[in-house]
Structure 1
């Protein structure tokens, strides 16, 4: 089975007010075969910068520790303290033995450092099912990914895609929690 492009999304919450809307939308996307949630972690960074982690899934804590956290492995965070870190390191070493370079980019994204203190975050690893046929068509044509990234709504004004008022509203929606 082909796996689609995989993306790690980090969502911050200053004062979470959950009503099930986020999970319902992720479930709708899964039902439509648009995306699949591979793994998800809830992280809380307190005012001193200490981090608490909880695995978000229907697995028991023991199953999550046994199977490992894919997000935790990506960002170097163990789901079960030192034991979890050791398990992640072992998996990474096995990949390196197979000739796969793991975490060798000095410019790599430090996800945990980006989470502001006294903030909760949801780290969601999703697979984009919708992109599999497009990616495969690009590969068949000899193409390859050079880079990717989300574009700020404010940048869309410069190219005339949306009006400044709409861009400001969308920007504020996307970044509201970062403003104290």
Structure 2
């Protein structure tokens, strides 16, 4: 089975009020076979920067056993304190070595996910596989193409293209900044 492109999304929350809406939307995407949630963690960072981690996912029990805690291995985060963090880092390194890949990023490329989470907030770390992109990716590879870069586009950049109104972009920006404590 071909695995689609995988993306780690980190979403921040000030005083989160989860009512199941995020998980319900991920489940809807899963049922449509658009994406698959490989792993999801909720990370709570207190005022002193201490971290508490909770597994959060819409995976079935069998899938959770099969895939394990992939985010922890990917970012070197273990669930059980310092020993767990070390175990997460070791598991991530072993996975990379077993796959035959060499991914030693330069200092500019290192993404310290946990450091970016502000104190006294929560974050949802969601590792998604994009099923919809498999045929597109394969077509690109057959044409000798390759990924150079990717990223989300700001709503403000979409105004010039006519995909957002200035009012909508400003509303989204204000919401995001107010949630980000700015």
The residue aligned with 2:170 is: 168
> In the TM superposition, what is the alpha-carbon distance from 1:124 to its structure 2 partner?
0.5
1:53 aligns to what SS in structure 2? Answer: strand
* Residue of structure 2 equivalent to 1:105: 106
Deviation of 1:23 after TM superposition, in Å, equals: 0.7
8 A Cα contact 1:45 1:120, kept in partner: yes
Q: Which residue of 2 aligns with 1:157?
A: 159
- RMSD, matched Cα: 2.4
CA distance, structure 2, for counterparts of residue 102 and residue 55 of structure 1 = 26
Structure 2 contact 77–86 (Cα < 8 Å) conserved: no
- Counterparts of 2:25 and 2:85 in 1: how far apart (Å)? 31
How far did 1:98 drift?
A: 5.5
Partner of 2:181: 179
Question: Unaligned regions of 5+ residues in structure 1, if any?
Answer: none
Output the CA distance in 2 between the equivalents of 1:23 and 1:100: 32
Query: Within 5 A, what are the aligned runs for 1:70-81?
Result: 70-81=70-81
Q: Which runs of 5+ in 2 are unaligned?
A: none
TM-score (norm 1): 0.86
Q: Which residue number in structure 1 is paired with residue 34 of structure 2?
A: 34
- TM-aligned CA deviation for residue 67 of structure 1: 6.8
Taking structure 1 as reference, are residues 93 and 28 closer, same or farther at Cα in structure 2, changes over 3 Å only?
A: closer
Q: 2:149 aligns with which of 143, 147, 150?
A: 147
